[in-house]
Structure 1
Amino acid sequence: MGALLLGLTGCATTPADRVKVPRAVIGESRAEKNQTGLSDLAIQAIGLVGVPYKWGGNTPAGGFDCSGLVVYVAYRAKGLKLPRTVVEMSRFGQEVDVDQRLPGDLIFFNTTGHPFSHVGIYVGKNRFVHAPTEGGTVRVESLLSSYWAPRLTMIRRLPTGPL
């Protein structure tokens, strides 16, 4: 039960201890420069911009928290059934280097003093979609911002088809 609460409460973006990122996020990734178009995950995520934040939420009608948004988008775009918490998601798929990130990859952050306390979906050009915190809406933000860049902890690529 404690792990479930930790995963669900991890979507709030509050001041926190920072985890050192192995490499800085600067410019487009090498992999992204060779890709054309957006992934289905990125397209689905962008389509949900403006939906209200709701703790524990996992639908456009009811609102989203960060992990609920990712679960919803992964299922709609790829038929993937992801774990519901950020911590469990951090073990799903394959970890990729920051310079190999592609639209559709999951972006993990430390926003509460825990390495995997927030998640979003990378949509290209150093931007990601996420459900930030109570009172906010699903939005696009820059990985290069002074808030997000030092909090980036990991990037993971999801499998290509349903499991």
Structure 2
Amino acid sequence: MKKFFTKVLLAFVAIISFSVVSFHETDAHAASFTSVYQTAKNYLGTPYVYGATGPTSFDCSGFTSYVYKKAAKVTLPRTAQAQYNKYDHVSAKTAEKGDLVFFGASKLSISHVGMYIGNGKMIDAQNRGVVIEKINAPWWNAVGYAHVTDLD
């Protein structure tokens, strides 16, 4: 009888645990581009500091990581190169609002990341702080885009 109650208790704990995990996974995908973008816009003008992860200063990948964690509960890798390496790449033509856009000398030398916001623009943290700017600026060499998560 004791074994039976132990098995029932363990089954109950397992069901509750799976429910909690499923809820958190669903919750991460329930974020909208509007909420992610609004979170990012809240930091416009925040200063750039190399290695900073927010919220009072950011570097580029610290900014994208912070925004996705806060607004969508998605944890991104720490560096721009690691973010580029982790996610599925998409073309500029198929990039969606909220996708990441990467810059550098090549796919093996990513030095900057921003978040695509549509109409050829991104929001990013760079030497002027957090700004909205064109992706095709003369000082950037766009290497590619990556899709982090589906946004509503």
Fold shared, TM-score > 0.5 on shorter chain: yes
Residue in structure 2 matching 1:153, options 140, 143, 147: 143
CA distance in 2, matches of 1:158, 1:108: 13
Structure 1 or 2: larger helix share?
2
User: Which residue pairs with 1:43 in the alignment?
Assistant: 38
Of structures 1 and 2, the one with the larger relative CO (CA 8 A, separation 6+) is: 1
- Normalised to the residue count of structure 1, the TM-score between the two structures is 0.66
Q: Which ranges of structure 1 fall in alignment gaps of 5 or more residues?
A: 1-36
Q: Which ranges of structure 2 fall in alignment gaps of 5 or more residues?
A: 1-31
Q: CA RMSD in A?
A: 2.2
Q: Give CA deviations for 1:23-74 in whole Å, capped at 9, x if unaligned.
A: xxxxxxxxxxxxxx9443323222211101111111122x000010011001
Structure 1 or 2: larger strand share?
2
User: Which residue pairs with 1:60 in the alignment?
Assistant: 55
- Normalised to the residue count of structure 2, the TM-score between the two structures is 0.71
Residue in structure 1 matching 2:93, options 99, 102, 111: 99
Q: Give CA deviations for 1:73-131 in whole Å, capped at 9, x if unaligned.
A: 01012111111011110122221111011110100001699631100011111110111
| Structure 1 residues 43 and 111: alpha-carbon distance in aligned structure 2, compared to 1, 3 A threshold | farther
What percent of counterpart residues are identical?
A: 28
Q: Select the structure of larger CA radius of gyration.
A: 2
Read off the aligned partner of 2:135 and give its amino acid letter: L
The secondary structure found in structure 2 opposite 1:95 is strand
Q: Which runs of 4+ in 1 moved over 4 A?
A: 111-114
| Aligned residues of 1:70 and 1:121 also touching (Cα < 8 A) | yes
| Aligned residues of 2:107 and 2:143 also touching (Cα < 8 A) | no
CA distance in 1, matches of 2:117, 2:102: 14
Cα distance, 1:146 vs structure 2: 2.5
Q: Tell me, yes or no, if structure 1 residue 118 matches structure 2 residue 112.
A: yes
| Aligned residues of 1:129 and 1:141 also touching (Cα < 8 A) | yes
Equivalenced residue count is 120
CA distance in 1, matches of 2:76, 2:107: 23
The secondary structure found in structure 2 opposite 1:44 is helix
